[in-house]
Structure 1
Amino acid sequence: MATSDTRIRVEPGSFRDPANRVFHAGDEVLRGLGPQAAADWRALHAADFFTALLAEGKVCGTELVDPATLPDTGWTTVLRHERIPFVSHPYEWSFAMLRDAALLHLEILRRALSAGFTTKDGSAYNLQWRGSAPVFIDIGSFEPIREGEPWAGYRQFCQTLLYPLMLQAHLGLDFQPWLRAQVDGIEPEQMRRLFGGARRLLPGVPTHVHLHGAMQARNARTSTSDVRAQLRAAGYSRELALATVRGLAKLVRRLDRRADGSHWADYQRTCGYTAQDRADKELFVDEAVAAAGAPRLVLDLGANDGRYARIAARHAAQVVAVEQDPAVVDALYRALRVEGDRRILPLVMDLADPSPGGGWRGVERAAFATRARADVVLALAVVHHLAIGRNVPLPEVVDQLVAYVRPGGRLVVEFVHPEDAMARRLLANKPDGLFPDYRRVEFERLLAARCRVERRRDLPSGTRTLYQAVVGG
């Protein structure tokens, strides 16, 4: 339901295309269109391929809205988009998520080209998620094709989608830090340095890394219009563009994540819970989320294989399952994709180093803390990893967990006592006496100072305690 706040708020990440701009009025997501963009929208809206994509849920729901029903926006043509449950960034996705996003991007481009349209760009940021299903959101990117011109988004597609996938598939390197460090993605020159020698012959590398990089260097001093004119003169056609898209899709499908060992992949078996501990914990979580009354958003911090995210999804509209290990998130995503789950969004993130703001002025890509204000936050078997494993002071751990909860929302948190086997293992790697305040009584004092604790349950093993608390409000 829309809020009563209808003030216009411009989306900080929408400024690179001056023909249209995304903004917000209350809970509504709107897009203002300039004269040419409005003409492109009318043509797009009448196209059968776009109607089919809307019906299939592959592009975000979009409709024309009367600007007179809104506060003054400065735009004469305005679109209303569906609200994506939770905005995420490509450096928070797993390998299979990035690959599926790339394949959807290429499918949409192929269908657009066949119908006489193209997309202005090829960025991974043009996609978001409904649970495990990717969705294309940049409706302003569509425009009628001009015969003889190449796809303008090819470079962006390589830098933000293809190159990260190659990095992981061919070299076994996690791509997330690379995308997080550079909002425009991985440059061809960076890739050329990584793929020398025998690596030059790996699938996709000769064409999309070395040839692409050489062409870019050769045309560095040539205007875009001159390059387009040269391609038209050489006979570049829509059929060649379609062949390129099909070739890219074939390449992307062949890329896969290298299998590697992961300590966290087997955590549920090795974490030391007894069967009764696990049953009590599951019941506690189920009751806590149900008590929130159909929450719109639940955060599961340190989600591992998604056991508790699935429990939360019984009651919540959307669950964002955050886990540090990319391999574990990838396995969870692939399972959710098979199940067709639309309620759980798995994300890769280190809670001790969450996604900061990025891009222009540090706000073009919003920080995780800015996006993550949930009705319910699950922080199960997390506190000891942050406080002991990562040396974060216990008061700051509690402060951050509370900050993720909207006023009136609930925090469900587990405290692992210093006597627990897992806590002892972490403490064994630290100097004696380093964490004198890591005690249950101190944790309870900190929690009570920030929340109203509704209930508490000691697990049967006797070394772990669960708390349900209301934050503010």
Structure 2
Amino acid sequence: MSSKATLSASFRDPSGFLFRREGVLYRQVNQKYQPDYDQLMHSGLYQKLVNAGLLIPHTEVDIQAEQPEIAYRVLRPEVVPFISYPYEWSFGQLKDAAMATLAIARQALDFGMLLKDASAYNIQYHLGKPVLIDTLSFEVYQEGRPWVAYRQFCQHFLAPLALMAFNDVRLNQLLRIYIDGVPLDLASKLLPGKTRLNFGLASHIHMHANAQKRYADQAVDKSAVPQRMAKISLLGLLDNLESTVRGLSWTPEGTEWADYYDATNYTREAFEEKKALVLAYIQRVRPAQVWDLGANNGEFSRLATTKGINTVAFDIDPSAVEKNYRAVKANGEQKMLPLVLDLTNPSPSLGWENRERQSLAERGPVDLALALALVHHLAISNNVPLDRLAAAFAALGRWLVIEFVPKEDSQVQRLLATREDIFPTYTLDGFEEAFSHSFDIVEKAQINGSKRTLFLMKAKED
């Protein structure tokens, strides 16, 4: 029997579950999982993976379990500051998560264990790198046992990566529709014919999909893997999956927004003044976490990360997010998390009872949200009224740094060039009036050398 403290994202696993008590996150390990948990901890696998940054560390705690009648241990895992989902990742993030999953599976075999779950939702980005957060994803390896997570890996990682690489990077959004991974028959139909000449994709997607269809009516699914598999064959399977994933690539193009700062209408002096103002507002608020809601390549997000603040850098453009992620990797940054997000259609609540995966709003509110060079796109390009923007931002952040870009600005003029101006209230006074219902305006400053105004606001309490 579950309790209100049990997290809805972990209710499916009979081995244990997550729960919160007085704001602290815990994991209950059930008695059923005792042999596997003991093997994980005593074999050296746990420490090996933690030392490699591939598994979230935990401490065993002596507290009352949430369901004591079936409990074996209670763990307190290290907390990941922001939970993201694979449909919010860039191509590079999904690929690195896939490679991390395969590395974990291989290391598990070296310690007499098998990775029994290959769900992309078990991977999170922490300190700039992909890490497994589900301590209960392992089982004691039995000779001849196949990799039971093979099909899951193909659906959660390989299929979407192949579709992103060979079709369109935006097809990662299929993971929002298919929460248990992209069906292989669908991926097989969508992929171009030339992928059948790629041995890895032919084997793990096209032939795999055909086998699933052939055995669909049988009680035992024989499509996933052979019923018995020697360890050397299992290692060969992991090797082939690794080489197939490594061979997939996607190069972010220089899109309109990915190259925004190369074509900005700011003077260098105005741009630097804007950065100084944003930094001053950040230091005034002293947030524990920042969400940059239109981060582009992370230029302004890094004003927070360089101060040691965990920052989620959202942007609608997959190319901008990919470039940001590549910079994170190249620089070894630990406080930055770039993610793909369309604010006009943000990540919703998904899964069983719409509670397994949280919406963006449910993961907030954050201490401080940044909305820089963003309002005109939402208000003019997407016809979102200013008061609705204000209410939405107030739900996402306790504090807000926001930039108003007036109609006289060249960027707004470009947006209005091909459409009728139906926005009579889109003025500085109209902006302040609309936002004053949801926020207290704490400070504002015109950015010298531009027509733009920067505001620091605090959300009104209910």
**1:314 correspondence with 2:306:** yes
Contact kept? 1:8, 1:71, Cα under 8 Å: no
**1:10 correspondence with 2:6:** yes
Deviation at 1:230? 6.4
Aligned residue pairs total: 458
Equivalent position amino acid for 2:93 in 1: M
Contact kept? 1:298, 1:312, Cα under 8 Å: yes
In structure 1, the gaps of 5 or more residues are 1-6
Which residue number corresponds to residue 431 of structure 2?
443
Contact kept? 1:326, 1:348, Cα under 8 Å: yes
Contact kept? 1:168, 1:258, Cα under 8 Å: no
What are the within-5 Å matches in structure 2 for residues 134-149 of structure 1? 134-149=130-145
Equivalent position amino acid for 1:457 in 2: A
Residues 325 and 131 of structure 1: is their aligned pair in 2 closer, same or farther, counting only changes over 3 Å?
Answer: farther
**1:429 correspondence with 2:418:** yes
What are the within-5 Å matches in structure 2 for residues 350-429 of structure 1? 350-406=342-398, 410-429=399-418
Bigger shift: residues 133-142 or 38-47: 38-47
What are the within-5 Å matches in structure 2 for residues 163-312 of structure 1? 163-195=159-191, 197-202=193-198, 204-224=200-220, 231-232=227-228, 236-293=229-286, 295-312=287-304
Deviation at 1:261? 4.1
Which residue number corresponds to residue 91 of structure 1?
87
Contact kept? 1:28, 1:83, Cα under 8 Å: no
Mapped partners of 2:223, 2:239: distance in 1: 23
Mapped partners of 2:199, 2:224: distance in 1: 27
Residues 415-465 of structure 1 deviation map (CA, whole Å, 9 limit, x = unaligned): 001111111111223223x11111110111222332222211101134100
Bigger shift: residues 386-395 or 245-254: 245-254
Residues 368 and 300 of structure 1: is their aligned pair in 2 closer, same or farther, counting only changes over 3 Å?
Answer: same
Equivalent position amino acid for 1:300 in 2: D
Contact kept? 2:54, 2:131, Cα under 8 Å: yes
Residues 359-417 of structure 1 deviation map (CA, whole Å, 9 limit, x = unaligned): 111111110111131111111011111000111111101111111113xxx21000001
Mapped partners of 1:468, 1:73: distance in 2: 48
SS of the residue corresponding to residue 258 of structure 2 reads: helix
Which residue number corresponds to residue 337 of structure 1?
329
Residues 317 and 462 of structure 1: is their aligned pair in 2 closer, same or farther, counting only changes over 3 Å?
Answer: closer
Residues 11-42 of structure 1 deviation map (CA, whole Å, 9 limit, x = unaligned): 11112222211111233221222212123111
What are the within-5 Å matches in structure 2 for residues 25-64 of structure 1? 25-64=21-60
SS of the residue corresponding to residue 436 of structure 2 reads: helix
Equivalent position amino acid for 2:433 in 1: R
Contact kept? 1:376, 1:412, Cα under 8 Å: yes
Deviation at 1:203? 5.0
Equivalent position amino acid for 2:420 in 1: P
Contact kept? 2:146, 2:226, Cα under 8 Å: no
Residues 197 and 345 of structure 1: is their aligned pair in 2 closer, same or farther, counting only changes over 3 Å?
Answer: closer
Which residue number corresponds to residue 315 of structure 2?
323
Which residue number corresponds to residue 4 of structure 1?
none
In structure 2, the gaps of 5 or more residues are none
Contact kept? 2:56, 2:131, Cα under 8 Å: yes
Equivalent position amino acid for 1:46 in 2: H
Contact kept? 1:158, 1:208, Cα under 8 Å: yes
SS of the residue corresponding to residue 74 of structure 2 reads: strand
Contact kept? 1:285, 1:312, Cα under 8 Å: no
Deviation at 1:219? 2.7
Name the TM-score, length of structure 1 as normaliser.
0.92
Percent of pairs with identical residues:
36
SS of the residue corresponding to residue 148 of structure 1 reads: coil
